[in-house]
Amino acid sequence: MPPSEPSPNQPPALTQGDFVRLLMRNEPALRAYSRSLLPDWYLVDEVIQEASVTLWEKFDQLRDEAGFLPWAKVVVRFKCLSIIDRLRRDRHVFSDGVLELLAEEAEMFDAEERERSMQALRSCLEGFSPPHQELLLAPYSGEGRVTMLAEQAGKSANALYKLLGRLREKLAECIENRLQKEAL
């Protein structure tokens, strides 16, 4: 049978509206996934933009909604690897072998697990003092934000990054404890 002929078992074709909805719903997961392969958030933005266009171009190949995320991950992974290849000449980035291994590891995070981790993160973050919360969010609140906070506090940026590192470790511990308790 030629592949174009509709079969009675085939679900109805996905529409443009479906695409927008699926993209919006899965965007946080795709951003998190590409973050695990890329050295910074600028590149994540670039990859997600490029990937959205590719996904749209090839959307007619998608058969059902459940296939969206795995398929999108393949596209995102491909974009990440090609962007990293471009970076490779100018700066040190992870080797191909490590990227493969990281992608494999990141693959194991499903949407449900991500949702639970996100909830744990929200409540753990609330447990920190407001200045510490501000510092934890500073790296995502604008370029040079950490340095600015350091200037305000009269400390070196380096010292503040060290504090940030310790806070992040505490945060990770808190999240892990919370998830473990849930699992019991």
The one among 18, 26, 50, 106 contacting another protein by CB under 8 A: 106
88 binds another protein (CB under 8 A): yes
Q: Does 145 bind another protein (CB under 8 A)?
A: yes
Report in angstroms how near the CB of residue 159 gets to another protein at its nearest. 13
Q: x-or-dash pattern for another protein, window 6-25, by CB under 8 A?
A: ----------x--xx--xx-
Q: Which of 18, 100, 147, 170 binds another protein (CB under 8 A)?
A: 100
Going by C-alpha positions, the residue among 79, 87, 41 that lies closest to residue 95 is 87
Instruction: Determine if 141 is a binding residue for another protein (CB under 8 A).
Output: yes
Pick the closest to residue 34 from 64, 3, 4, 72 (CA basis).
Answer: 72
Q: How far is C-alpha 132 from the chain's CA centre?
A: 23
| Sequential DSSP letters for 74-124 | HHHHHHHHHHHHHHTTTS----HHHHHHHHHHHHT--HHHHHHHHHHHHHH
Q: Rule CB under 8 A: choose which of 13, 45, 110, 177 binds another protein.
A: 45
Least distance to another protein from the beta carbon of 12, Å? 19
